[in-house]
Amino acid sequence: MSSFKDSNLFQAWLVLLLATAFGCALAGVQTKLGPVIEANKTRETLAKIPALVLGEDQAGQLSRQKKSLSITSRTIEIERNGIKKFYTVYDAFLEGTLAGHVAKASGQGYADKIELLLGLDADARAITGLFILDQKETPGLGNRIIEKPWRDQFLKKSSATRLVVVKGNSGKDNEIDAISGATISSRSVTGIVNKTITDIKAQLITPPKETADKQETSQNENGKIKENT
């Protein structure tokens, strides 16, 4: 019996059993915390929408005036090569007029999935904001995609031209300067932005189903986001 416990076979089975137990425990934790994490992301998204659409200065001014945007959400479905993809898009209205859109998107980064929020103006012609909602990139390198100076490079970029990442100072209107030592993370974010615009731009410029006045009333009366389906 002692020789069996000391054997490679026993140790292999022990490692397998421990790995299975830890895996089941982690799956249980994820199942329990998953809805909480998503709810927190939704709250963070709603908090970021004014700045992503209007810019931080105007969003701050709006807040000081005790005013707010009316926000509705809708799901845009894209199908390419038989594969369906869904984007959550928030349409923001200011005093009944469509002010812009914020799309939630994700894609593969260097280390793991990157989730971001992309702001576009009412006509989806230019980028108005970019926020990294979730990432697990390398600390001190790839995770610098969350820093405002780097994200601000995307502001006012045209949605008509594909963005490209360059090393060194960017010179052209469609160029994004890569983070030193984190070119892959820089390209990942830029790629997500490009793909999101390509996928949803045509549907963004189509007015939402309901009128702005009705949408504004829906949110103000219920205190919730009105969903268009």
Give per-residue pLDDT as tens, 10-43.
Answer: 677 777 787 777 766 666 655 665 677 778 878 9
Read off the pTM. Answer: 0.77
Place of tokens 């209007």: 54
CA distance 198 to 87: 12
Indicate the range of 13-22, 91-100, 184-193, 196-205 predicted with least confidence. Answer: 13-22
How many residues appear in the chain?
Answer: 229
CB proximity list for 169: less than 8 A, separation 6 or greater: 177
- The chain-wide mean pLDDT, for the chain, equals 85
Strands (E), 14-144: 70-80, 83-94, 97-108, 113-121, 127-134
- Are 132 and 148 in contact by the 8 Å Cβ rule? The answer is no
Residue-wise pLDDT tens digits, 39-89: 887 899 999 999 999 999 999 999 999 999 999 999 999 998 899 999 999
- Pull the structure tokens for residue 104: 């939630």
C-beta of residue 90 within 8 angstroms of C-beta of residue 45: yes
Tell me the three state secondary structure of residue 67.
coil
